[in-house]
Each structure stands twice: as C-alpha cells, then as structure tokens.
Chain A
Amino acid sequence: MSAPLLSVRDLSVVVRGDEGERTLLERVSLDLAPGEILGLVGESGSGKSLLCRSLVQLLPSRAISVARGEVWMGGRDLLALGEAQMQQVRGAEIGMIFQNPSSHLDPVMRVGDQIVEGLCFHRRLDRAAAKAEALAIMGQVGFTDPARQFASYPHEFSGGMRQRAMIAVALACDPKILIADEPTTALDVTIQAQILRLLMELREKRGLSIILITHDLGVVAQTCDRIAVMRQGRVVEVGDKRALLAGPAHPYTRALIASHPSMPADGEYDQVDDQADRTDEASLPRPSAVPARPLVEIDDLHIRYPLPGGLFGRRRSFSAVDGVSLQIRPGETVGIVGESGSGKSTLARAMLGLTPISDGHVSFDGATLRGQPAVALAKIRRQAAMVFQDPFNSLNPRLTIGQTLAEVLHVQGKVAPAAIPARVTELLELVELDPALAGRRPRQLSGGQCQRAGIARALAVDPRLIVADECVAALDVTIQAQIVALFQRLVKTMDLTLVFIAHDLAIVRHLCERVVVMHHGRIVEEGPCAEVFARPREAYTAALIAAIPDIDPDRRLLAPPPELIAC
C-alpha cells in the first residue's frame, strides 16, 4: 500500500454521563490509501458513524469528546486543529454524504444553490463561475438536465436523485476523501446499484478516496478494496476484501457473513430454511395438490388516489394498484416484492380493508369487502393482523409492551380477562422476548426487541393471516436474520398464512414459498420462489435480482462496464 492519505492512530472517544465516563470508541487505528474505497462494516451502535464524525470533529453532543489519539492527514494532526482551520478541512478535504438525503438537504433552498454554497466558500469562486461549475458537477453525478434541475428543490426529486444531489453538494468543495455514511440504505436495489456505481466512477475519475459505512456486506463486497469490521467501538478485523470475506478471522465477522441473506451456503440461516421446507411439505397442503378455498381473493383490484387539481381543472388520479388479481391460500407464505412506489404496501393495506377500493373485489375467507363490508371487516379484524415497518412508531409510546398486548387481547375478547396476563407472557415467549420486558415502553427496547413486540401484538389477535409490511427493513442484518427465522418458526408451528412485503429480494427468497413481483401497480411476475429467482421470465424481475449486491465480489453488480470494476 502506498503512503496513507489518512491515518487514524489509537483514537478513543468517550461520553461523560451521570455514571461517569463510558468509552464509545476504543483505540481505533485505520489507514486510508489514496484512491481507495474502505468499507466500514458493523451493526448500528458499533461506532462506525461516530468514528467518521470524530475525524472531522463533528461530535453529535457536547458530552462526547475525543479522549486520546491522532488523525494524520497531509502532515498534520486534524484533532489538534482549531475550529477555523477545521472548517477548511471539512468539505474541502473530507466531504460527507449521509444515509438520509431528504433530511440532510436544506428543504427550502434550491439544490443548485446548495452546491454553489460550497464552491463560493471553499474555492472562492464568484457567483457566475460557481454556477457554471455546479452545473458541470451536476452533470457528472448523473443529472440529466442540470440547467433545469439547478433550480429544483430537494422534495421535487426521487430518493436516488436526492442522493445524487447530496453527492454533488459534497463534491462541490472538491474533497480528497468522501465519507459515505450508509448512502444507499434508504434506496431501492436498482437505485442502490446506480449510486454505488457512481461512487466507483467518481473514484476512478477524480482519484477520490472513499470511506463507505454500511451494514450490508454485499455492498462492501461489490465496491470496496478493503474492509474494516467494527463492533462495540473497536475495529475487530481489517483486511483486503477478498481475504477477509474468504477467511474471516474474528468470530463476529463470521457471524456477519453467515447472516447475509444472499449467502446460500453454510450457516445457521440455511439450516432453519431446510427445516422449514421439510415441515412445509409434511404439514401444509401444496397449492397444486389440494384446491383449498383461498383465504384472500383479490380480483381486478384498482386503487386510485386523486391528484391535487384545480377548481376548474379536470380531476386526475394516480393508480397505486392497477388491475391486480391474486389468490392467497391458507397456510401459504407469499412474498410481495417491488421497488418503492410499486404499490405493494397499498395492496397489503387493501387486503386488510385499510384503504378504500376504487374498483374490483377483495374478499377475505369468502366475504367480499365491497359486497358485505361489515361482515368482511369483522372477519378481517378478528382473523388478520399487520406488522409494520417502523417498530418504534407503530407501538404506542405511552403504553408498556404488556399493556399494548393486553389491550389487543381485551378488545378481541377471545381470552377471558383473568387469563390475559398469562397469555401476554405466553405471547412474549412465543416471539422469544423475555417476559420481564412486558413492563418496558418501546423507547426502552432495541429495534429488534420492538419488532418482536410488534409481532407479538399481531399474534395476540390469534390470526389466520399476518401481513408484514417491510418489517425488517429498518433492522441490522443479524437482527434481520433472527426475525426472519422467527417468522419461519411461527409459520411452521402455527397455522398461519403470511404475506411478507419487502424490497429485499434475498430475504423473500429465504422465507417465502411464492413470490409476487410488482411494478407500477401491476403484477409483472408471480410463481414459486425458487423458480422465479432461478429463471425470471420478465426482464424487470431479472434486473431486480441482478441488482442485489452479492457477497461474492466476483458476481458483479448489474454487470457494469469492465473498466469500472476496481478489483
């Protein structure tokens, strides 16, 4: 490796609280070579983001401070610089892009002006020169019509374009190092592939060094040169990508690799999968073998939302679901996949009678929502339940987990009031939560624990159908794997029908028997999971599958032009 551009030595960061000091980062040492992409992997709370914030002295709270260590760049220790000198480093030498461009871009400032801001400040350009330069940068990061898009506001862009805007804002200051903090976590797979390819392209063209923070080993495998694995504030393992993925030394790295959903080889994940398959065959009627009456029947469903129109203008509408027909049989696990905006969540809500139907029919256990809405809704409310994406916000923050579950049991009236506490305990054990947590409120639980509570709440209905809407999207990979395993066990042991909505195809492949691919409100392909993933009939499905970052560095992401592959 050539002389490092950035060199972190023994960096320790502490937080001062009521109970004294707690170490958040412990003696972290890292090097970043010029033109290198370094992947920083670990779960949330492992200190990846904090490490990067420490490099530019942007600590999230006054209580957090650097206890010791050095950060060498260009012959000086960044940690020894004063605030005024640090402002020259931030942006101009080390730029940052963030996970959520929607909240990091100024909503009331034109995108172009946000790019110009850095150009004027760091490169002392006048307004006209800065605008010309900004337009050039916008072209570089993939804006199709910079002249027009210069004057747009962030909310007028899609998520992927916002991330491009964020990258343009960071590049405007012409940094040598770009810190990308989970830059694609909030994006669809196909958009993620585009953004990752853009980052690699920028590295080639500008000689940019990139620190890529992510929890997805697939992303790292596809883009990075070297990987640093962090856990509990320490770097547990650093090494060349291939060497590290092929022969992980640390047990935690091995667990991370095993949890990755695109890894069909050995690991606990697969064992659970095998068991699930076996019991499926034994206990559940195969769709083709036994023509059971469908639990949910959807026939030519249309859901349209009116677009805001003028007083005199013609009312236009947007079709979220456009002529979908689908049957779900009892005991089936069906995955619905598609990009954001494909209508998969709307379809799920329609199944549970949570959204008005514009046209077509939805029936649950023989009762149609349009024909006999009262009968159908009564059945749905007592026999179906939903698990939501955001584990925190879908639980009432003022109620303890026990109270939330007791409320459902009380309303449903299937369990005698005296038996409710016992049932609460039973439900918590069912989702592998310590019953002692019943007294906690959502804020006192971790994301994974909250999602388990959310599943317990769904199970409290004693449902025949569970609709899970992106319920693992917000969780770390290892937690994701645990929740998926939990679902597999529940489906196997209880007589449950599961509709699992996800944009992550790999998870659906592991969990579901049948998959439905949606695009622009229509079903483009459906069939048994193994078949669809092995031999997709539609180009769209094939593109979605190809965009999943594989943990194997040699299976290329969307087959980009060879000159862009760094390895």
Chain B
Amino acid sequence: MHRYSFILLRPLQFVPVVFGVSLITFILVRMIPGDPARVLLGARATPTAIANIRAQFGLDEPLWLQYLYFLRNLANGEMGMSIVYRIDVLRLIGTRIEPTFALILCSVVLSILIAVPLAAIAARNQGRPVDHAIRFVSTFGIGFPPFWLGLMLIMLLAVKFPIFPVSGYGETLGDKLAHLALPALTIALSLSTVLLRSLRAAMVDWLKSDVATAARARGMPESIVFWRHVLPNSIVPTINLLAVNIGWLIGGTVVIESIFALPGMGQLLVRAIFSRDYMVVQGVAMVFACATVLVNFLADIATVAADPRVKL
C-alpha cells in the first residue's frame, strides 16, 4: 500500500457522511415551528394561496416522499428551488460562496503569518521577557469575543483612522481584499493565539529534544537547528488543530459576516432560517458539512506529507 493511496479510497467514505448529513438537516429543518408558505405570504394570506404554494414546492407530500425527492435531486446535483428567492438553491449558494471562502482563506493565511514567527520568537527565547510578553498578549486574543474585537477594529481602523472600509464587499480584487481585511483580522486575532500556543509548546519541546542535541553536536548553528529540524517537527501536531478550527470557522463566520455585512453563506443561512426557506437551509448545511469533511481530508494529506511515519 502506498502511503498516499488513502487519497483515492477516502472519498468513498464521503458518501455515507453526505447521506447522514442530508438526513439530519432535512429532519431538523422541519422540526422548526412555522410554515414557509405562511412566512412568505404574510399573516393575512388565504388558505387557498397557502395551499397553492405548498403544492408548488411539494410541501404537501408526506415527509418520507419529500426526503426521497431531496435525495433524488442531490443525486442529480440539484438542491431544489428557494421558496423566498425563487431561484435554484445551487445558483443562490454560488453567488454567496465566494466571500465566505475568501474570508476563511484570508483568516487562515493571516493567522499562520502571525502565529509562526511569534511562536518561533517565543520558543527560542523561552523564559525571557519577550516570551512572557508574547504569551501575555496572546491571552487577549482568547479572552475577547470576536464580535467585540470586530467592533473595536471597525472603530479604530475604519472610523477613527479610515484605512479600511467599514463593511460590505467589493467588486475588483483589490477592493475585495480591502473589505476582507478587517473581518479576516478579527478572526485571525483569535485563531492565531490557539495556533501560537500549540506551536510554541511543540517548539520548546523539540528545541530540547535529542534531534536538536544531535544537530548541535555536529556543529549546526542554532538557526539551522531551528528552521530545518525543530520547525518541521513542530508543525505536525498543529496541522490537526488548524483543521478543527477551520471546521469550526466554516459554521462560525455567521457572526463576523453579520458585523461586517459580508454577503456570504453565513448571512444567507440566517435569513433562510428566519423565512423557513427549507431548501436553502438544507443546501447551505450540506455545503458546510462537505466543506468541513474536505478540510479534514486536506489536513490528513498535509499530515501524511509532513510526517513520513503517519500511515492512514
């Protein structure tokens, strides 16, 4: 068995996962009290109008039949029609996926750019003032809730010193990045502290390890010992931590998207829940679930690439 052969086999495991997620979201959405047709037509709608809408979207069918339709649509790569927007759910998600994806990507890149150098400085100066300072400051990142941090960043960097736009999303690439800067920074400030702590602890251990001693004993300067031996070994445990946090982020961008009025999936999901737009809620939940599975899959590949001893 080749070490990377799991890349071909693993996608087979996605099938039961997707099936399970579809069943759970389908049932949970329908357990929310309320009727999409009633929400859509308002309080004074006639029973006939409501029945029409229900028939049009298949909501009058028995639940098990509705689920079978949902599965049939999924198998055809469709997710049905949004009751509110009256367009195909997949197309709707397609218009909203980019800001969310870009936000998560920027946050993760920014967190790594913050965490790795700071962890390296702290670990190499373990016990010295600079180490204490980095660890002290990093506790703020964990202590402050993201919504508060987001508001503070808006007040400071968008209102008092108008460097970045307050909210919304842009058209051109540069414009988009400018709009993403503050929300991404908000997420990165808390995400990087988690990575920083894990990385620093691993680096401190590896700096004291036999591997480092052996490298020093053959005359390697401290910089080579660190970048070539300590860092690659320290990264391994942090990969899975990052994957777990990205998985959490995928569902957790709702708050940040609301604060910064980013037209992403999180906002779409919140509105769909309020309007009982079953198809959209199901669709977004499916996309989130698949993205989380995919991130963990990528993390597995990264782990295998980073540590030759790992076999999956």
Min Cβ gap A315→B in Å is: 12
Distance, CA A308 to CA B312, complexed state (A):
9
Option from B9, B211, B236 in Cβ contact (under 8 Å) with A106: B211
Within 8 A of B (CB), among A166-194: 166, 169-170, 172-173
Q: Are A96 and B218 in contact (CB under 8 A)?
A: yes
Q: With A107-B309, A108-B233, A109-B232 given, is the CB distance from A118 to B209 under 8 Å?
A: no
B240 CB, min distance to chain A CBs, angstroms: 15
The answer to whether residues A91 and B218 also contact, given A108-B233, A310-B9 and a CB cut-off of 8 A, is: yes
| Structural contact, B210 and A100, CB atoms closer than 8 A | yes
In the complex, how many angstroms separate the beta carbon of B221 from the nearest chain A beta carbon? 6
Q: Which of B214, B215, B221, B232 contacts A108 (CB 8 A)?
A: B232
Q: How far is it, in angstroms, between the C-alpha of A117 and the C-alpha of B217 when the chains are bound? A: 13
Contacts of A169 in B (CB 8 A): 214, 218
A109 and B309 CA atoms in complex are apart in Å by 11
Q: How far is the CB of A213 from chain B (nearest CB, A)?
A: 14
* B211-270 interface (Cβ within 8 A of A): 211, 213-221, 224, 228-229, 232-233, 236
Size of the A side of the interface (Cβ < 8 Å), in residues, is 35
* B76 interface residue per 8 A CB criterion: no
Contact between chains at A98 and B210 (CB < 8 Å): yes
Q: Which residues of B contact A311 (CB under 8 A)?
A: 9, 12
The distance in angstroms between the C-alpha atoms of A310 and B215, with both chains bound, is 37
Q: Is A153 an interface residue (CB 8 A)?
A: yes
Main secondary structure of the interface of B (DSSP, over half): helix
Contact A96–B214 (Cβ < 8 Å): yes
Q: Cα distance A56–B217 when bound, in Å? A: 8
Q: Report if A117-B307 is in contact (Cβ < 8 Å); known contacts: A95-B217, A122-B219.
A: no
Task: Find chain B residues with CB under 8 A from A122 CB.
Answer: 218-219
**Cα distance A56–B216 when bound, in Å?**
10
Q: How distant is A454 from chain B, measured CB to nearest CB, in Å?
A: 26
Residues in chain B near residue A92, CB distance under 8 A: 219
Complex Cα distance, B218 from A87, in Å, reads 8
Partner of B211 from A103, A121, A309 at Cβ < 8 Å = A103
Q: Which residue of A lies closest to B221 (CB)?
A: A87
A286 sits at the interface (CB 8 A): no
Q: Contact between B219 and A121 (Cβ–Cβ < 8 Å)? A: yes
Answer whether residue B5 sits at the interface, using C-beta atoms and an 8 A cutoff: yes
Q: A87-B221, A107-B233 are in contact. Are A98 and B214 (CB under 8 A)?
A: yes
A105 close to B (CB within 8 Å): yes
Contacts of B102 in A (CB 8 A): none
Q: Which residue of B lies closest to A102 (CB)?
A: B210
Knowing A58-B213, A104-B211, A106-B233, say if A313 contacts B220 (CB, 8 Å).
Answer: no
Q: A117-B228, A155-B308 are in contact. Are A309 and B1 (CB under 8 A)?
A: yes
Separation of A366 and B203 alpha carbons in the complex (Å)? 55
Within 8 Å CB of A121, what residues of B? Answer: 219-220, 224
The answer to whether B306 has its CB under 8 Å from any CB of chain A is yes
> Contacts A108-B307, A155-B308, A311-B9 hold; do A87 and B220 have CB atoms under 8 A apart?
yes
B72 within 8 A of A: no
Residue contact B308 to A95, C-beta cutoff 8 Å: no
- Knowing A58-B213, A96-B214, A155-B308 touch, does A108 contact B220 (C-beta < 8 A)? no
User: Residues of A contacting B233 with CB < 8 Å?
Assistant: 106-108
Rounded to whole angstroms, the CA-CA distance of A95 and B228 in the bound complex is 20
CB of A9 within 8 Å of the partner chain: no
Are A90 and B218 in contact, CB atoms less than 8 angstroms apart? yes
Identify B210's interface contact among A91, A104, A172, A313, CB under 8 A: A104
B150 to chain A, nearest CB (A): 38
Task: List the A side residues contacting B232 at CB < 8 Å.
Answer: 106, 108-109
Scan residues 288-312 of chain B and give those whose CB is less than 8 A from a CB of chain A.
306-309, 311
Q: Nearest chain-B residue to A95 (Cβ)?
A: B218
Within 8 A of B (CB), among A305-321: 308-311, 313
Residues of A within 8 A of B9 (CB): 310-311
> Is there contact, CB below 8 Å, between A107 and B217?
no
Q: How far is the CA of A311 from the CA of B10 in the complex (A)?
A: 10
* Nearest CB of chain A from residue B7's CB, rounded to whole Å: 13
Of residues 83 to 130 in A, which have CB atoms within 8 Å of B's CB atoms? 87-92, 95-96, 98, 100, 103-109, 117-118, 121-122
Residue in chain A with minimal CB distance to B208: A60
Nearest chain B CB to A124 CB, angstrom units:
13
State how many angstroms separate the Cβ of A160 from the closest Cβ of chain B.
18
B residues within 8 A CB of A153?
Answer: 308-309
- The reply to whether A96 and B217 contact each other, CB–CB distance below 8 Å, is yes
Contacts of A90 in B (CB 8 A): 216-219
With a cutoff of 8 Å between Cβ atoms, the chain A residues found around residue B229 in the complex are 106, 109
Report yes or no: B214 in contact with A105, Cβ–Cβ below 8 A.
yes
Decide if A108 touches B306 in the complex (CB within 8 Å). yes
Question: Chain B nearest CB: distance from A427 CB in Å?
Answer: 37
Inter-chain CA distance A313–B9, complex, in Å, is 12
Q: How distant is the Cα of A169 from the Cα of B210 in the complex, in angstroms?
A: 14
Neighbouring B residues of A308 by C-beta, 8 Å = 1, 311
Assembled-state Cα–Cα distance A335/B197 (Å)? 50
Contacts of B306 in A (CB 8 A): 108
Query: What 5 new A-B contacts, CB under 8 Å, besides A121-B219, A155-B308, A169-B214?
Result: A92-B219, A100-B210, A118-B218, A122-B219, A308-B311
> Which residues of B approach A to under 8 Å, CB–CB?
1, 5, 9, 12, 209-211, 213-221, 224, 228-229, 232-233, 236, 306-309, 311
Task: Kindly list the 5 A-B residue pairs having the minimum CB-CB distance in the complex, ordered from nearest.
Answer: A91-B218, A91-B219, A90-B219, A104-B214, A103-B210
A-B contact pairs, 16 of them (CB 8 A): A58-B217, A87-B219, A91-B218, A91-B219, A98-B214, A103-B209, A103-B210, A104-B210, A108-B309, A109-B232, A117-B215, A117-B220, A118-B218, A118-B219, A169-B218, A313-B1
